[in-house]
Amino acid sequence: MGAIKYELIKECKQSGARLGKLHTPHGIIETPIFMPVGTQATVKTMTPEELKDIEAQIILSNTYHLYMRPGHELIKRAGGLHKFMHWDGPILTDSGGFQVFSLSDLRNITEEGVTFKSHLDGSKHFISPELAIEIQNALGSDIIMAFDECTPYPATYEYAEKSLERTIRWAKRCKDAHNNTDNQALFGIIQGGMYKELREKSVKEMVELDFPGYSIGGLSVGEPKDIMYEMLECTAPLLPKDKPRYLMGVGSPDALLEGVIRGIDMFDCVLQTRIARNGTALTSEGKVVVRNATYQEDFTPLDPNCECYVCKNYTRAYLRHLVKANEMLGARLLSYHNLYFSLELMKNIRIAIENDSLLDFKSEFFSKYGY
Amino acid sequence: MGAIKYELIKECKQSGARLGKLHTPHGIIETPIFMPVGTQATVKTMTPEELKDIEAQIILSNTYHLYMRPGHELIKRAGGLHKFMHWDGPILTDSGGFQVFSLSDLRNITEEGVTFKSHLDGSKHFISPELAIEIQNALGSDIIMAFDECTPYPATYEYAEKSLERTIRWAKRCKDAHNNTDNQALFGIIQGGMYKELREKSVKEMVELDFPGYSIGGLSVGEPKDIMYEMLECTAPLLPKDKPRYLMGVGSPDALLEGVIRGIDMFDCVLQTRIARNGTALTSEGKVVVRNATYQEDFTPLDPNCECYVCKNYTRAYLRHLVKANEMLGARLLSYHNLYFSLELMKNIRIAIENDSLLDFKSEFFSKYGY
């Protein structure tokens, strides 16, 4: 018995996009889905109750950050991550691979693992595939990630190949180390840089290891979006139909749509809460930089087509005031709206798949949004 | 017809404390009451719905800050402060007097008013009693304050006397300038430094002007608490029984109790939300500096005797993690708890007055709290 089960409900006749249900130990997720990011055991500014209000079905948290602070052993003693942070829905954790490569200084990669310095205090650490699994076992997240080497962009063919091969070997070690398969599903991560053959090779070898789900990593790392979409097109169709597919770190409205059309089921991104803290909102009519002077006396809601708590109760002028005055409520309300907007978009995408009309939905959405 | 009406329900037989109801254009307030402070048109980190959850009956906002940013004219065009900030309960605004003296640089006080430089951008401004009223009329708060000179501590007798006399003359000008008496009640402010005779003189002359309520200002400005209580003892009994009494800027748990016992009906303080942002909680067993290492693995609630949302759902260990990681949710949850705690204290004080047992309540509370 595995921890999760993916049920393919239908494929959109117009686009081929997948509608599904992912059964997890903490509930059923309707896919395709966007996962709000709770880096440090909190989706920034939001309570779990608010995440439920906006119908978040699953959230993501970060192994690297939780390992650094407060430590996975502490979270284990607290009763696991769900209990620690008071969220009883499904949780996915990444493996720490991406953060080790992007956040830390002076990393040294060997076959054994990665030595690096903490971004917090400069202390030295070593994460191996086995430790990445041990940490995630301690956290108790429903879906966990194999420890991978996130190939940077640009990378030579040779580098990308070596990197993907090491990621395969590490994935095997992760699988061997994982001792809680009934409650936590381990995903393998597809790498291969921006090389079609390497992506294909990565899928082939990872699928042979037979994971309960697959993540596509090493995208949205600086490459043009066209290349990312090409990589999805040569990757997703090769993945088994009866397993969920997660595109890591991608979540702008256009990429959500384009990803779903290319067969992706799960997405996450810090964009929604990060731009909120800078005073920017995602709306049906495109981005609104509410911090701008143009909204100073705009007594209309953020998004005229939005039914969220923020749009029903506050004006752009008030939100701008909060942002300008550095009031936390500003970041709170904009985060709430941006997450609501993205989850609502995914809901409408699921409806469009149901109706075999996702390409129509896409052109309508894009023409309003201003693409 | 005035904007407000104070109804004295009873006086505690044990302590003389007053139980009352204050009728305002935006609802009835049960007194004695603590007012959460929303300096910049937001009680820091909190939504209006959360303020209602914790049974906040009235909030305070700051004339000086709102005049500076976003400007009272803008708030007037937004439909007033209630609408601007989405709070439909009563609002009290201060006059800006205190902030002009405490926040701004290079102030120059003349009989006409005060010239000062903005704490935001150094721009030069002039606030007169008339402008302080004009601003508050534009904001549309239910209770507004006369523009006063907040006598610093220490001050000589001569300085304090001159200052209180000017405050009386300014109060007259405020009364003349106030043109919305049906919807906004103007309070006169008692000054007089730490001099009993001056406090008595201030009360006498202010009461002659017949305001719908009286504030006691110039306390909690650095003097020992004993002196503050002495000043209350020589001031409050001289105030008319049928008008509400507001002790400005005071709100620590001990001072709330001591103030009520000395006949005060209304309090405000930034302490609750300010210490929350520093990682400190008010609890029935005293202050808990949750940031401290001692709470690292403390999986118990902030306050074992508290029924608030935070205490029901989160541990000290998790709150400490949020505070250490600079997560906004930490400040949010601690602010929520600290405000809840203070409002709950006021509720229990009202019950004790009802039962003629406020002194008993006080000794019980203090022995637990650790005074």
pLDDT in tens, B147-160: 999 999 999 999 99
From residue A241, alpha-carbon distances to A18, A213, A247 in Å are: 9, 10, 15
- CB spacing of A77 vs B297 below 8 angstroms: yes
User: Across the strands, what pairs with B6?
Assistant: B22
Domain total of chain B: 1
Catalytic residue among A105, A254, A265, A268: A268
- CB spacing of B78 vs A313 below 8 angstroms: no
- CB spacing of A321 vs B41 below 8 angstroms: yes
Give this complex's ipTM. Answer: 0.98
Residue A203 lies in a domain: yes
Catalytic residue among A94, A142, A265, A303: A94
Which chain A residue lies closest to B85 (C-alpha atoms)? A318
Instruction: Give chain B's largest Cα–Cα span.
Output: 60
Q: Is the pTM for the entire model greater than 0.90?
A: yes
Option in A46, A85, A297 nearest B74 (CB): A297
In the annotation, is B268 catalytic?
A: yes
What's the mean per-residue pLDDT of chain B? 97
Per-residue buried b or exposed e for B161-192, using 16+ beta carbons within 10 Å of the residue's own CB:
bebbbbbbebbbbbbebbeeeebbbbbbbbbb
The pLDDT tens digits for B135-191 are 999 999 999 999 999 999 999 999 999 999 999 999 999 999 999 999 999 999 999
The pLDDT tens digits for B51-95 are 999 999 999 999 999 999 999 999 999 999 999 999 999 999 999
B308 is in an annotated binding site: yes
Residue B100's pLDDT is: 84
The DSSP result for A274-288, as a single string, is HHHHTTEEEETTEEE
| Residue B106, pLDDT above cutoff 80 | no
The pLDDT tens digits for B185-233 are 999 999 999 999 999 999 999 999 999 999 999 999 999 999 999 999 9
Which residues in chain A touch residue B40, judged by CB atoms under 8 angstroms apart?
Answer: 321-322, 325, 327
Alpha-carbon distance A124 to nearest alpha carbon in chain B (angstroms) = 19
The DSSP result for B13-77, as a single string, is TTT--EEEEEEETTEEEEESEEEEB-TTSS-TT--HHHHHHTT---EEE-HHHHHHTT-HHHHHH
Residue B259 lies in a domain: yes
Please compute the mean of the pLDDT values over residues B276-304 and round it to a whole number.
Answer: 98
Residues spanned by the domain of A91: 5-275
Alpha-carbon distance B314 to nearest alpha carbon in chain A (angstroms) = 7
User: Across the strands, what pairs with B61?
Assistant: B93
Distance CA B270, CA B278 (A): 13
Residue A137's pLDDT is: 98
Number of A:B CB contacts under 8 A?
Answer: 96
Give me the helices (H) in chain B, please: 48-53, 63-68, 72-77, 81-85, 97-102, 129-139, 157-177, 196-208, 225-235, 253-261, 271-277, 309-313, 316-324, 328-354, 358-369
CATH number for the domain that contains residue A23: 3.20.20.105
Residue B346's pLDDT is: 98
Three-state secondary structure readout of A184-201: CEEEEEECCCCCHHHHHH
Residue A370 lies in a domain: no
- CB spacing of A327 vs B78 below 8 angstroms: no
| Residue B13, pLDDT above cutoff 80 | yes
Residue A271 lies in a domain: yes
The DSSP result for A221-240, as a single string, is SSS-HHHHHHHHHHHGGGS-
The CA angle B100-B104-B106, to the nearest 5 degrees, is: 110
Residue A105's pLDDT is: 67
Tell me what percent of the residues of chain B surpass a pLDDT of 90.
94
Which residues in chain B touch residue A87, judged by CB atoms under 8 angstroms apart?
Answer: none
Other Cβ atoms less than 10 A from the Cβ of A54: the count is: 18
Confidence of residue B264 (pLDDT cuts 50, 70, 90): very high
- Interface of chain B toward chain A, CB-CB under 8 angstroms: 40-42, 44-47, 69-70, 74, 77-79, 84-86, 296-297, 299, 313-315, 317-318, 320-322, 324-325, 327-329, 331-333
Residue pair B193/B218 in contact by the 8 Å Cβ criterion: yes
Residue B73 lies in a domain: yes
In the annotation, is A182 catalytic?
A: no
- CB spacing of B328 vs A331 below 8 angstroms: yes
The pLDDT tens digits for A222-251 are 999 999 999 999 999 999 999 999 999 999
Residue B347 lies in a domain: no
The backbone torsions φ and ψ at residue B182, rounded to the nearest 5 degrees and listed phi first, read -75, -25
Option in B69, B327, B332 nearest A325 (CB): B69
Residue B201, amino acid? K
Which residues in chain A touch residue B42, judged by CB atoms under 8 angstroms apart?
Answer: 322, 327, 329
* Segment-wise mean pLDDT, segments of 10 residues, chain A, 371 residues: 94 98 98 98 98 98 97 98 98 91 80 92 93 98 96 95 97 97 98 98 98 97 97 98 98 98 98 98 98 98 98 98 98 98 98 98 97 79
- CB spacing of A42 vs B84 below 8 angstroms: no
Confidence of residue B104 (pLDDT cuts 50, 70, 90): low
Token pair 């008008």: residue: B243
SS3 state at A306: coil
- CB spacing of B299 vs A42 below 8 angstroms: no
Distance CA B22, CA B61 (A): 18
Residue B371's pLDDT is: 79
Option in A42, A320, A329 nearest B327 (CB): A42
Residue A351 lies in a domain: no
- CB spacing of B296 vs A77 below 8 angstroms: no
Alpha-carbon distance A333 to nearest alpha carbon in chain B (angstroms) = 9
Alpha-carbon distance A11 to nearest alpha carbon in chain B (angstroms) = 39
Q: Which residues contact B59 (CB under 8 A, 6 or more apart)?
A: B35, B36, B37, B38, B43, B51, B87, B89, B90, B91, B92
Which residues in chain A touch residue B273, judged by CB atoms under 8 angstroms apart?
Answer: none
Residue A224: asked if its preceding bond is cis (omega within 30°), the reply is no
Option in B45, B74, B313 nearest A86 (CB): B313
Residue A173's pLDDT is: 98
A360 is in an annotated binding site: no
Give me the helices (H) in chain A, please: 48-53, 63-68, 72-77, 81-85, 97-102, 129-139, 157-177, 196-208, 225-235, 253-261, 271-277, 309-313, 316-324, 328-354, 358-369
B265 is in an annotated binding site: no
Residue B217's pLDDT is: 97
Residue A131 lies in a domain: yes
Strands A286-289 and A280-283: antiparallel
